[in-house]
Amino acid sequence: MPTVSIPALGLQLQAEADENLLKVLRRHRVPIGWSCRRGECGSCKCVLERGEVDLRGYQPGALPASQREQGIILACSSRIVGDVQLGLVDTDDYIEHPLRSLACRVLWLRELAPEIFALRLRIVADLAQGSEDASAGGPFLFSAGQYAHLRARDARGEWIGRDFSMAGTPVEAEYDGELEFHIRRTPAGSFSGLLGATILEGTELHLEGPMGRAYFRPRHEGPVYAVSAGTGLGPMLSVVQTALDNGKTDPVVLYAGFRNVSEVYGLERMEQMARRHPNFQAHVVVEFDAPGGLRGGRVGDALFADVKDFQDAKAYLAGSPAMVEAVSAELLARGLPMRDVHADAFYAPAPEAFPAGQAGLARG
Ligand SMILES: Cc1cc2nc3c(=O)[nH]c(=O)nc-3n(C[C@H](O)[C@H](O)[C@H](O)COP(=O)(O)OP(=O)(O)OC[C@H]3O[C@@H](n4cnc5c(N)ncnc54)[C@H](O)[C@@H]3O)c2cc1C
Ligand code: FES
């Protein structure tokens, strides 16, 4: 039986031959990031210090050849072929909240901009504990920037699940048992298309989470740059609000990107934060049709036009894979270490997550 050793954590893990490395690490609750699980996002990077793995089927952007030459691998795209020794890329401020399985009810659904909705949920039962008491397993704890898997019934009564990032703060969830999500609705979307159809005020949804490692690191000292595309603004508002609520005095700067001006939302909340916190700045950037008063172009270009020096900074990114991948790559090229770039790209789900009738559709 092959062994996976991680000297930094004093661990020796047993694995099956040909087993997926990320599966082994997650089974043993090793503090490693992951998101897409198919070699696209780069969240599951680790260092192969000794031994060999069968690494294949990943996107070159997720693991550039220069990093591969330094021994970096993607755990999700690696199969175990013998004993290996690993180093972890980012173990600072590792936080692991218990994974919960909860029933929630929709408190309200509000349109923030055309086809962009805020979905506010109240936790009503703990499914894992089999209890009607929402607090049976304790309050729902997460770190700003994390996401959860939401499931709802479609018109045929089938459960459909997708990942969504918490847009409210961890404090609201812990004390009020309420969670907010910002969701772009596409009428043909298997889950988002249910908003306003089967997902209405009072509807029961199921939630599993929290997940994700692109969360706010409270011990970091230095500037914070939060960059979002579209509804990636939800988790980035949670990150900057939490940083400011924690009394951070370094610059906290939000770059909120949108494709079109009609999609812009959240201005009032950003203005309120700027009024209360002199160290907070928000830049709203509209790619295609910015009117006078709003900045035009791509959000990453705006960030790199304004900021030349990322010394001691941390960057948090959420939204479309194209934005997250391009901005992450540029930050690394400008010298920001990988451990200071915390990114969750909103990848489309794997084909098996689609209802049977939709199998075979092209990925958008
Ligand atoms: C970590 C994470 C966090 C996220 N957070 C958010 C968030 O906060 N807010 C938010 O709005 N979104 C978020 N997302 C994206 C979200 O999970 C969904 O992918 C998105 O909402 C699309 O779901 P849908 O129901 O609208 O559409 P889907 O039905 O899932 O369709 C999505 C795309 O897949 C294509 N497709 C349809 N059928 C198939 C098929 N059979 N095979 C392959 N492709 C197909 C469609 O053409 C479409 O372009 C997040 C994603 C991840 C991974
Ligand atoms: S989880 Fe491995 S690359 Fe995304």
DSSP character at residue 297: S
Judged by its nearest atom, the ligand closest to the C-alpha of residue 363 is: 1
Residue 212 · residue 35 · CB < 8 Å: yes
> Ligand 2, residues 38, 59, 67: which to mutate, most atoms within 8 A of Cβ?
38
Pick the closest to residue 310 from 287, 339, 285 (CA basis).
339
Whether ligand 2 lies within 6 angstroms of the CB of 180 is answered as no
Q: What is the predicted pLDDT for the residue at 227?
A: 98
State the sign of the Cα–Cα–Cα–Cα dihedral 207, 209, 210, 213.
negative
Q: Which residues contact 153 (CB under 8 A, 6 or more apart)?
A: 159, 160, 198
Residue type, 111: E
Cα separation, 285 vs 226, whole angstroms: 13
Whether ligand 1 lies within 6 angstroms of the CB of 183 is answered as yes
Q: Round the average pLDDT of the chain to a whole number and report it.
A: 90
Judged by its nearest atom, the ligand closest to the C-alpha of residue 55 is: 2
H-helix segments, the chain: 21-27, 65-69, 170-176, 233-245, 267-276, 299-306, 321-333
What is the residue with the minimal CA distance to atom 51 of ligand 1?
346
What is the residue with the minimal CA distance to atom 42 of ligand 1?
351
Residue type, 300: G
Whether ligand 1 lies within 6 angstroms of the CB of 333 is answered as no
More confident residue, 27 or 202: 202
Instruction: Give mean pLDDT, residues 111-115.
Output: 97
Instruction: Compute the half-sphere exposure of residue 145: CA atoms within 13 Å on the CB side of its CA.
Output: 27
Instruction: Give mean pLDDT, residues 126-130.
Output: 83
Whether ligand 1 lies within 6 angstroms of the CB of 215 is answered as no
> Ligand 1, residues 186, 208, 324, 347: which to mutate, most atoms within 8 A of Cβ?
186
Whether ligand 1 lies within 6 angstroms of the CB of 186 is answered as yes
Cα separation, 81 vs 18, whole angstroms: 6
What is the residue with the minimal CA distance to atom 6 of ligand 1?
164
Whether ligand 1 lies within 6 angstroms of the CB of 15 is answered as no
Percent of the chain with pLDDT over 90: 68
299-328 residue pLDDT tens: 999 999 999 999 999 999 999 999 998 999
Hey, what domains does the chain have and what are their CATH numbers? Answer: 3-88 (3.10.20.30), 100-212 (2.40.30.10), 224-345 (3.40.50.80)
Judged by its nearest atom, the ligand closest to the C-alpha of residue 26 is: 2
Instruction: Give mean pLDDT, residues 125-144.
Output: 83
Judged by its nearest atom, the ligand closest to the C-alpha of residue 325 is: 2
Q: Give residue 65 CA to ligand 2 midpoint distance, Å.
A: 16
Does the pLDDT at position 360 exceed 60? no
138-177 residue pLDDT tens: 889 999 999 999 999 999 999 999 999 999 999 989 889 9
pLDDT band at 137 (very low <50, low <70, confident <90, very high): confident
35-89 residue pLDDT tens: 778 888 777 889 999 999 999 999 887 887 878 888 999 999 999 999 999 998 7
Residue 288 · residue 260 · CB < 8 Å: yes
288-304 burial, b at 16+ Cβ within 10 Å, e below that, comes to eebeeeebeebbbbbbb
Cα separation, 41 vs 306, whole angstroms: 26
pLDDT band at 213 (very low <50, low <70, confident <90, very high): confident
More confident residue, 347 or 231: 231
Q: Give residue 347 CA to ligand 1 midpoint distance, Å.
A: 7
- Sole residue written with tokens 């929290």: 210
* Strands (E) located in the chain: 3-6, 11-14, 45-50, 53-55, 72-74, 78-80, 84-88, 100-113, 116-126, 147-153, 159-165, 178-184, 204-211, 224-229, 252-258, 280-286, 295-296, 314-319, 341-345
pLDDT band at 338 (very low <50, low <70, confident <90, very high): confident
Pick the closest to residue 104 from 142, 148, 156, 65 (CA basis).
148
Q: What is the predicted pLDDT for the residue at 239?
A: 98
Residue 245 · residue 262 · CB < 8 Å: no
Q: What is the predicted pLDDT for the residue at 355?
A: 66
pLDDT band at 230 (very low <50, low <70, confident <90, very high): very high
Whether ligand 1 lies within 6 angstroms of the CB of 346 is answered as yes
Q: What is the predicted pLDDT for the residue at 364?
A: 28
